[in-house]
Structure 1
Amino acid sequence: MTGGTTRPTIGALPDTTADSPLVSVALTWLVWTLFAASVAALAVRTQIGGPWQVPGVVAVDGLTVLMWVVVTFFGGIVLSYSRRYMAGSSHERRFFVAAFGFTTLVMALVAADHVLLFGLLWVAMGLAMAELIGTVSGWEQARAAASVARRYFLASSALLGVALTALWWTTGATTISGVAAAADTLGGAAWVIAAGALVLAAMIQSALVPFHGWLLSSMTAPTPASALMHAGFVNAGGILLVRFAPVVTVDATLMLAIVAVGAASALLGKLFKSVQSNVKGELGCSTVGQMGFMIMQAGLGFFGAAITHLILHGFYKAYQFLSAGSRVARESPERKSSPALGAGDAAVTLATGLAGGALFAVLTGKGTAADSGLLLALFVVITTLHASRNAVQQASLPTAVRYGAVPLVFLPAIAVYALVYRAVSGVLSDLPVVAAPTELTALHGLVAAVFLAVYVVTEAGVHKRSGRLYVLLLNAGQPASRTVLTDTEDYSEY
């Protein structure tokens, strides 16, 4: 072009200490203030204990203060990051208000004792997350993604409403603590309805298969919103099962079913991830798998382990999403996929896993008796070893060094997992049920055997040899078509 001028559309990065709008600054500092207060509450609670409650309305226990610390920490990190990420966006204020509202709603949810208050906060939490998913309302795809998520969340809320109504009808209790106290009287059709609805509500909220569609369709959300979603929102399914542990532990068959659906999601999430072609898609499928591990731990009766897993996964996934941009910059089209599990890799992995399992058993006492603790140790070893191997593989180390690096990363990681588990279990000691290990049955053995077989086949890359399986996995791991933003020029408009 001649005789014309080009107006730049992208300027220098803003100075967030000076250029951030007042609302963004105020809400960010308010969340960090809530974090400091939550840490103080956790310290006081640990030392003093005792009931902190408004009878019949709210009850602050170990789970409450622990989740306050976790949620406000993630909220503070996300809002601090977003002051630069959302700078200049016409949706900045809307995003910060929604993110702050979501954080406070979760804080209220984990303190709620009245079943009606709990149910209303569950609905509000879902609507706030749908708002974050649809933040960039100028995109038709963002509006569609928010609509998809909203339908799933309302379905989850309706199921929770059914469960709470059935529990109130059966026990006459209007509080969660009252339901827990009357758990010994539960049974019959009303319990089946309540327990089944609770599990389904948890599955939807945690994006377990076959309810994973809303999570994979949520990629129109700003990356900080995705971090908050994957590090916090999906954990609500585990919190729900922990809160109503006295209800779901009534019957061993239901607990086995929870293990089975968790195992299915853990495996399918891993398989879906193997056919994804974008970073956020991979992270979304990883979350589906990790939530499967969390639900499995609850199904085995180790609710403290489920909370431990959701906390550690939250830290990991928040980091992964907030650093997703730099990961894209480092990769190139020529980069090869991770190598399949070879003989040398298999030997090192097996030996490392056995050593890690023994270390976990020594540090926690789980896995030393013929109960579901054996499976807990197995699944913790698998998920921690998988994360450790991925970390080592991404470092692009020579083969000989990689073999030695896996145990160097894995053994400290599983020791940290075990110590955090012990600490979390101590904080949760005032809950009605923290650990209720179930007796191992042949069906438990079958679930574990199938899980191990599919996991090994996947690690060996055997599943990649089938074109039909590839297509099935690709289709099952796709977001809703109307939520996919195909015109990259649209990115520049908002």
Structure 2
Amino acid sequence: MSGETAPTDDDGVAQLSEPTTSTSLVPRASTWAVWALFLCSIGVLVLAARRGAVFEVAGYLRVDGLTTVLWTVVTFFSGIVHSYSRRYMAGDRYLDRFYYRVFAFTLAVATLAAADHVALFAAAWLAMGLLMASLIGHVRDWEQARAAGALARRYFLASSAVLAASLAVLVWATGATSISGIFDGLESVSRTTGLVAAGGLVLAAIIQSALLPFHGWLLSSMTAPTPASALMHAGFVNAGGVLLTRFAPVVGDHLAVMSAIVVLGAISALLGQAMILVQSNVKRELGCSTMAQMGFMILQCGLGFFAAAIAHLILHGFYKAYLFLSSGAGVEQTVPKTADRTPLGFPGIAVSLVTAVGGGVLFGVLTGKVTSLEPNSGTVLTLVVVLTTLTAARDILRRSTLPTALRYVSVPLVVLTAIGGYAVAFNAVSTMLSGVPMTYVSTEMTAAHYLVVGLFAVAYLAVELGWLRSSERLYVALLNLSKPDPTTLLTDTEDYHDV
């Protein structure tokens, strides 16, 4: 995706120009530097895992389990993006600027992960947003790219302002300027003050993670070069989960706030998944998928499973980075056709149910989400997993071209293996975060939890009974909800006229 303005011939038809060959050392130096940071991060991660040590510069920096995990993941994703961009961005007029910003973004996230001073944390959050907005508007010759960058910048400035205000309230209430100091002084904070600060932190998180109703900036960001999109969807949007996990002692102390997080996450997860069905653009489809996944991540935070949210954002990061960097290979010109949905029959229904129940049991046992017969937040998450697994299993069975017997055996194996892999990742992350304050918060069951279970059940029925595909009104509503800002659309109808 080049920043060059294409020349036109005598008839006004755009002509492609040959890419310029860059002799700059910036791409190579930046790539090597990021991979060096990745190796250093692995060393710190291993050291922290073996010794359980916390390194800190009192009042300013604190390197704990969450920091080391984030450092390793972020530098790895950044290294992949740097290496991929060496070829993808070749010939771009603003190549050096692109690498400066990607590298600076990596450093900003690394600083955020280690910051203990509230001013440093807020500054890193602001820098992270401004750099990502600049990457979204990288191709400055496009009016749409400039509009998308400006739109994202407004969202990120609002998020930074809300975060700064919340941190200022906590500093005023506790008299401490460090995050660890704030945690130590939370007992002296009134319920009203704590509620205001927690609400601000949640608002900043959902803006950055593009949850409803703040998803507009994400769906309007398709002007970003594909490597920048990969970095955005694999790393940047995860900042909401990181923020809530870092400030879990503040947020988790208010049941009303945790219940609101559960509802917000569930609605975004369900609507994001539904909006995928009405997309015709591969990158926008991935954007809706990211919105759904971020909703599920925030839902886990609201249920009190902050370590599970970190494990989720890591796995989602790997998956979404791969999808974006390989999205070009999945684009082809095809004629619309009716999907081949093989009827399940009784054996297929039985296999789906057994897979879903088995997946829920395996998930609950391996992660420790279900520890008693009494309903709790772990029960809610397990039920969501059962419904999600049931939908996935039945969809795979319908679409699979394998022989019937092999299909009935392979689908449960694949699904249960995936759940087992998630459980392993969750347990590993939980071990690393054992020294981080309140990575698990026991939350009481409220009306919000039962509402979420009901929403997921209705969503499952809507998919299973075909309501999503048969309702024109719902189709139009989802299409309108997923529309990007008009000023960021890359093409208009008149651009397709014959010249």
TM-score w.r.t. the length of structure 1 is: 0.91
- Report the CA distance shift for 1:197/1:83 in structure 2 as closer, same or farther (over 3 A): same
Which residue in 2 is equivalent to 1:484? 489
Equivalents in 1 of 2:437, 2:493: separation in Å? 51
1:441, distance to aligned residue in structure 2 (A): 3.5
Measured at CA, do residues 489 and 111 of structure 1 come closer, stay the same or move farther in structure 2, by a change above 3 Å?
Answer: farther
Distance 1:488 1:29, change over 3 A: farther
Larger CA deviation: 334-343 vs 248-257: 334-343
2:383 aligned with 1:378: yes
Structure 1 residues 167-212: Cα deviation after superposition (integer angstroms, max 9, x where no partner): 1111111111112222333333322211111111100000001100
Is 1:169 the counterpart of 2:172? The answer is: yes
Q: What SS does structure 1 have at the residue aligned with 2:214?
A: coil
**Structure 2 SS opposite 1:444:** helix
Question: Mapping of 1:210-359 within 5 angstroms?
Answer: 210-329=213-332, 332-337=334-339, 339=341, 346-359=349-362
Report the CA distance shift for 1:340/1:204 in structure 2 as closer, same or farther (over 3 A): farther
Give the aligned residue type for 2:124: L
Report the Cα distance in structure 1 between the residues aligned to 2:438 and 2:257, rounded to whole angstroms.
16
Partner of 1:445: 450
Q: Aligned in 2, Cα 1:486/1:47: closer, same or farther, shift over 3 Å?
A: same
Contact 1:276 1:282 in 2 (8 A): yes
CA drift of 1:365 comes to 1.9
Q: What amino acid sits opposite 2:318 in the alignment?
A: F
Q: What is the alpha-carbon distance in structure 1 between the residues aligned to residue 357 and residue 238 of structure 2?
A: 29
Cα displacement (A) at 1:309: 0.5
Q: Secondary structure at the match of 2:77?
A: helix
Query: Where does 1:11-410 land on structure 2 (aligned, <5 Å)?
Result: 21-329=24-332, 332-337=334-339, 339=341, 346-369=349-372, 370=374, 371-382=376-387, 397=402, 401-410=406-415
Q: Secondary structure at the match of 1:53?
A: strand
How far apart are the structure 2 equivalents of 1:129 and 1:155? 14
2:97 maps to a residue whose letter is R
Counterpart contact for 1:51–1:61, Cα < 8 Å = yes
Distance in 2 between the 1:258 and 1:379 partners?
Answer: 16
How do residues 418-429 of structure 1 correspond to structure 2 at under 5 angstroms? 418-429=423-434
What one-letter code is carried by the residue in structure 2 that aligns with 1:333?
V
Task: Give the residue type in structure 1 aligned to 2:414.
Answer: V
Q: Which amino acid in structure 1 is aligned with residue 144 of structure 2?
A: Q
Change (3 A) 1:471 1:368: same
**For the aligned residues, what is the CA RMSD?**
2.7
Deviation readout 1:340-371 (Å, 9 max, x if unpaired): 99665554332211101111222222123232
Structure 1 residues 153 and 397, CA gap change in structure 2 (3 angstroms): farther
Partners of 1:80 and 1:106 lie apart in 2 by: 19
* Alignment correspondent of 2:8: none
Report the AA paired with residue 66 of structure 1: V
Quote how far apart the aligned CAs of 1:387 are: 6.4
Which amino acid is the alignment partner of residue 304 of structure 2?
Answer: G
Deviation sequence 1:235-291 (CA, Å, 0-9, x none) = 000000001000011121211111010000000001111111111111000000000
C-alpha distance in structure 2 between counterparts of 1:241 and 1:276, whole Å: 30
Indicate conservation of the 8 Å contact 2:98/2:135, yes or no: yes
Residues 118 and 178 of structure 2 are in contact (CA less than 8 Å); yes or no, is this contact kept in structure 1? yes
1:465 counterpart residue number:
470
Secondary structure of 2:384's counterpart equals: helix
Q: Tell me what 2:416 maps to.
A: 411
Shift of 1:295: 0.4
CA contact (8 A) 1:271 1:458 kept: no
Please say if residues 340 and 460 of structure 1, whose CA atoms lie closer than 8 Å, have aligned partners that are also in contact.
no
Distance, in Å, in 2 between the alignment partners of 1:85 and 1:101 is 19
Please tell me the residue identity of whatever aligns with 1:317: K
Compared CA separation, residues 446 and 33, structure 1 to 2 (3 A): same
Deviation of the 1:398 alpha carbon: 6.0
Q: Number of residue pairs matched?
A: 481
User: Which amino acid in the other structure matches residue 204 of structure 2?
Assistant: A
Residue 216 of structure 1 aligns with an amino acid whose one-letter code is L
Gaps of 5+ in 1: 1-6
Aligned to 1:3: none
- Which position in structure 1 is the counterpart of 2:439? 434
1:451 Cα deviation from its structure 2 partner = 1.9
1:200–1:336 Cα change, 3 Å: same
Shift of 1:34: 0.4
**Which is worse superposed, 422-431 or 348-357?**
348-357
Q: Kindly indicate whether the alpha-carbon contact (under 8 Å) linking 1:393 and 1:402 is maintained by their aligned counterparts in 2.
A: no
Shift of 1:147: 0.5
Alpha-carbon distance between aligned partners in 2 of 1:394 and 1:325, rounded to the nearest angstrom:
23
Secondary structure, counterpart of 1:430 in structure 2: coil
Alpha-carbon shift at residue 463 of structure 1 (Å): 1.8
- Do 2:356 and 2:389's aligned partners in 1 also have CA atoms closer than 8 Å? no
